[in-house]
Amino acid sequence: MIRFDNVTKVYKAKQRAALDDVSVNIDRGEFVFLVGASGSGKSSFLRLCLKEERANSGTVHVAGRDLAKLASWKVPRFRRQMGVVFQDFRLLPNKSAAENVAFALQVIGKPKHVTDRTVPEVLQLVGLDGKGDRRPDELSGGEQQRVAIARAFVNRPAILLADEPTGNLDPTTSVGIMKLLDRINKTGTTVVMATHDDEMVDQMRKRVIQLEEGVIVRDEARGVYGGAS
Ligand SMILES: Nc1ncnc2c1ncn2[C@@H]1O[C@H](COP(=O)(O)OP(=O)(O)OP(=O)(O)O)[C@@H](O)[C@H]1O
């Protein structure tokens, strides 16, 4: 589903590589934690998966496509297969929860009857039944992240990329968000989650890929945050 072959990403000449000769394969349906210190390359990895950045060398395959060969006019359609969730939610502040989710369907031209049916289903799935009319500022942080996940998932993406999705949330709320991502993964969606949340990683016992200064230093099938000592 996601394959990096000898991928190097350098943003500026003379700077060290953000990703340095990274090779990794993530299969369809996997759940992967991407861990590592700040600046280790986690966000760069996710941006390369979305073709928001280009590799300087090596190849990135996502959903069967070599992203270097993907014409720019095809990128929007390619990204429809990807859901993305961020630490800071990135909701439209003047729209309700339901409208935020509906918007993701409207921009890809889904007719109103599809939106009317799908949005309540997805809001229910993320545990926001009855809160669709609320604007983001009328929701807690955890609820806002649920809206963001609903928006990312409403198109049933093959892949969900999450960049520190629990970074702004307290531990109890984070557990709820984690369980939700786990449920989404169990529907068949491949999930890659960049995180600093060591307790969460330790609890979930999923595959852990650890980056250090742009290099994969650990890849464990059922890992913990800090790795075996
Ligand atoms: N647009 C950019 N221009 C120049 N350098 C960048 C850019 N984006 C990232 N970098 C550099 O690339 C390296 C990797 O950054 P990246 O954001 O991928 O790390 P990260 O592991 O996601 O960090 P964090 O946990 O703080 O989000 C860092 O040294 C960073 O300064």
- For the CA of 41, the closest atom of ligand 1 is 18
Rounded distance from Cα 168 to ligand 1 centre (Å) = 19
Residue 42 CB less than 6 A away from ligand 1:
yes
Confirm whether the ipTM is greater than 0.85. Answer: yes
Q: Name the one residue in this structure whose structure tokens are 């049916």.
A: 117
C-alpha 110/C-alpha 114 separation (Å) is 6
Q: Are 153 and 123 in contact (CB under 8 A)?
A: no
**Nearest alpha carbon, ligand 1 atom 24:** 38
| 80-133 confidence digits (pLDDT tens) | 999 999 999 999 999 999 999 999 999 999 999 999 999 999 999 999 999 999
39 Cβ below 6 A of ligand 1: yes
Query: Which residue of 43, 164, 193 sits with most ligand 1 atoms within 8 Å of its CB, as the best mutation to test the pocket?
Result: 43
Predicted confidence at residue 228, as pLDDT, reads 59
pLDDT tens string 46-77: 999 999 999 999 999 999 999 999 999 999 99
Strand ranges in the chain using DSSP code E only, listed in sequence order: 2-9, 19-26, 31-35, 57-62, 65-66, 82-86, 159-163, 190-194, 207-212, 215-220
List, in sequence order, every beta strand (DSSP E) within 102-229.
159-163, 190-194, 207-212, 215-220
